[in-house]
């Protein structure tokens, strides 16, 4: 079972579930979200508590947590040589992860979903209404990683800044 971290504030009653919280982007997200006053609970999930390659495991975690927002920062990665050598395999594995997450959320129409994909920059795939607070947090993390940030322009469009 993923462990909730404490995050201050009663300003917004939001629970955020972050898959991939043990990685570079995910751990940065957890740190920033916990330091934000905009979330009441931040739940960090790693491969130790949820097998994202398994639909059943993914669905069980989402059913248990029932987050208001889900951020997927999990991905199969391998470094420059492996990424070039096993490009197709990595794409297939990452699609499996994301399909399991999206399919697990079908019954939860109000969960805001963000899928973070990294190549040479962060690409955000936004599903459902994701607001400026969450988008702003991810932009700050992208800037901290020296990655060109993504802007949310209030018209359901993401653009490079």
Residue 49 pLDDT:
96
Mean pLDDT of 107-120: 77
What values do phi and psi take at 14, rounded to 5? -130, 135
**pLDDT of 142 strictly over 60:** no
Residues 38-48 have pLDDT tens digits of 778 999 999 99
Where are the extended beta strands (E) located within 7-143? 15-19, 41-45, 69-72, 112-118, 122-127
Residues 49-89 have pLDDT tens digits of 999 999 999 999 999 999 988 989 998 887 778 877 888 88
């Amino acid at each position: 079972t993923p462990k909730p971290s404490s995050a201050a504030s009663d300003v917004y009653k939001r629970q955020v579930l972050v898959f991939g919280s043990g990685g570079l982007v995910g751990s940065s997200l957890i740190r920033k979200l916990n330091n934000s006053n905009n979330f009441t609970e931040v739940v960090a999930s790693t491969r130790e508590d949820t097998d994202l390659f398994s639909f059943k495991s993914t669905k069980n975690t989402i059913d248990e947590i029932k987050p208001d927002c889900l951020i997927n920062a999990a991905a199969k990665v391998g470094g420059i040589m492996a990424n070039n050598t096993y490009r197709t395999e990595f794409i297939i594995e990452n699609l499996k992860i994301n399909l399991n997450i999206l399919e697990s959320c079908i019954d939860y129409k109000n969960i805001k979903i963000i899928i973070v994909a990294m190549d040479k920059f962060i690409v955000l795939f936004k599903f459902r209404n994701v607001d400026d607070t969450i988008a702003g947090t991810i932009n700050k993390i992208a800037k901290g990683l020296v990655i060109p940030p993504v802007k949310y322009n209030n018209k359901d469009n993401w653009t490079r800044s």
